[in-house]
């Protein structure tokens, strides 16, 4: 298992993060990088978010370029209005294009999408929060979840797998999961309230979740570990969980980072689609 950046569009120099554990014959996936788009500062340049003040025409062009380089049709993509909640929506053919060109038209108040519809790209947007991609090769179904700290502590990744079980008959032991680039334990200092919520939600896992890299500083949280733990708890095999282990703040030359970029920045996209 490994995560690497691959140049998928040599003309525009667009790179995409790729997990080697996801079978390419079943699904297409990617985590977008920052270069190769048309957006201007502070969204420069491949901003895929329609809700951060960028010119919608620039975002549409960026989405078109990135999806096309993955072999997907950006006019078909389905994307939600992410609200750091735990709502999970199953989408199908009739949802194709929702949120593709207009944020108002996106799937309302939803932080995870699942589908068994081939050729329907699911897109979620991130700048430091954790993307979780899910693939059930046995039932040919996919999912994607938004794991900020709120979604992570509410176990949205695990709940998305359980929803796939309800909807598609997915067995957790068949699921391939990928934990994408996000703010790492190196850079993610949290206050006592967040620390307390994670202690309550994941008792006995303090060593995996918390660290104190600066002698004088506060507690750092690993969203990567919290997402891995909740997937393992419901039966996803450790050997099926691929982790990018890539910090968006440390690597903000490659990825948009809310913290490292000072709050106003673009959004990277995580995309997954079943092959037609
Ligand atoms: Zn870092």
For 157-181, what is the HEC assignment?
A: HHHHHHHHHHHHCCCHHHCEEEECC
Measure the CA–CA gap between 14 and 30, rounded to whole angstroms. 12
Residue 111, both tokens: 């932080």
| Tens digit of each residue's pLDDT (9 = 90 or more) over 245-264 | 999 999 999 999 999 999 99
Q: What is the pLDDT of residue 149?
A: 98
The rounded Å distance from CA 89 to ligand 1 centre is 31
The rounded Å distance from CA 49 to ligand 1 centre is 22
The rounded Å distance from CA 22 to ligand 1 centre is 25
The rounded Å distance from CA 233 to ligand 1 centre is 26
Could you report how far apart the first and last alpha carbons of the chain are, in Å?
25
What domains, with CATH codes, occur in the chain? 3-183+241-274 (3.60.140.10)
CB half-sphere exposure, 27, CA atoms < 13 A = 32
The rounded Å distance from CA 252 to ligand 1 centre is 9
The enclosing H or E element of 32 equals: strand 27-32
The rounded Å distance from CA 190 to ligand 1 centre is 14
Determine what percent of the chain is predicted with pLDDT higher than 70: 100
Q: Which residues of 133-158 are buried (b: 16+ CB within 10 A; e: fewer)?
A: bbbbeeeebbbbbbbbbbbbbbbbbb
Measure the CA–CA gap between 38 and 33, rounded to whole angstroms. 13
Measure the CA–CA gap between 228 and 178, rounded to whole angstroms. 9
Count the neighbouring beta carbons within 10 Å of the beta carbon of residue 71: 11
Reported as a pLDDT band with limits 50, 70 and 90, residue 216 is confident
**Residue 151 gets which letter from DSSP?**
H
Looking at every residue in the chain, the average pLDDT score rounds to 97
Mean of pLDDT values over 76-102: 97
The rounded Å distance from CA 212 to ligand 1 centre is 13
Three-state SS sequence of 238-261: HHHEEECCCECCCCCCCCCCCCCC
Mean of pLDDT values over 121-144: 98
Task: Identify the residue whose tokens are 């913290």.
Answer: 259
């Amino acid at each position: 298992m490994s995560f690497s950046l691959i140049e998928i569009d040599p003309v525009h120099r667009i790179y995409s993060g790729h997990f080697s554990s996801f079978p390419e014959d079943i699904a297409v996936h990617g985590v977008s990088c920052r270069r190769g788009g048309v957006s201007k500062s502070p969204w420069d340049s491949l901003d895929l978010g329609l809700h951060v003040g960028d010119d919608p025409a620039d975002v549409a062009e960026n989405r078109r370029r990135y999806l096309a380089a993955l072999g997907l049709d950006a006019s078909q993509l389905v994307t939600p209005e992410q609200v750091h909640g735990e709502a999970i929506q199953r989408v199908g053919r009739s949802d194709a294009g929702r949120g593709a060109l207009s944020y108002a038209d996106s799937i309302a108040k939803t932080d995870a999408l699942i589908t068994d519809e081939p050729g329907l790209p699911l897109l979620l947007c991130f700048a430091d929060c954790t993307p979780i991609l899910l693939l059930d090769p046995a039932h040919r179904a996919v999912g994607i979840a938004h794991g900020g700290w709120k979604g992570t502590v509410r176990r949205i990744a695990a709940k998305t797998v359980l929803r796939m079980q309800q909807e598609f008959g997915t067995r957790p032991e068949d699921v391939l999961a990928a934990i994408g680039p996000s703010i790492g334990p190196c850079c993610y200092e949290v206050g006592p309230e967040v620390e307390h919520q994670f202690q309550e939600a994941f008792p006995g896992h303090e060593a995996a979740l918390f660290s104190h890299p600066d002698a004088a500083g506060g507690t750092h949280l690993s969203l990567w570990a919290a997402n891995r733990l909740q997937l393992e708890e419901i039966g996803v095999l450790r050997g099926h969980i691929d982790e990018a282990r890539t910090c968006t703040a440390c690597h903000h030359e490659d990825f948009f980072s809310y913290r490292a970029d000072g709050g106003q920045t673009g959004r990277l996209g995580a995309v997954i689609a079943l092959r037609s």
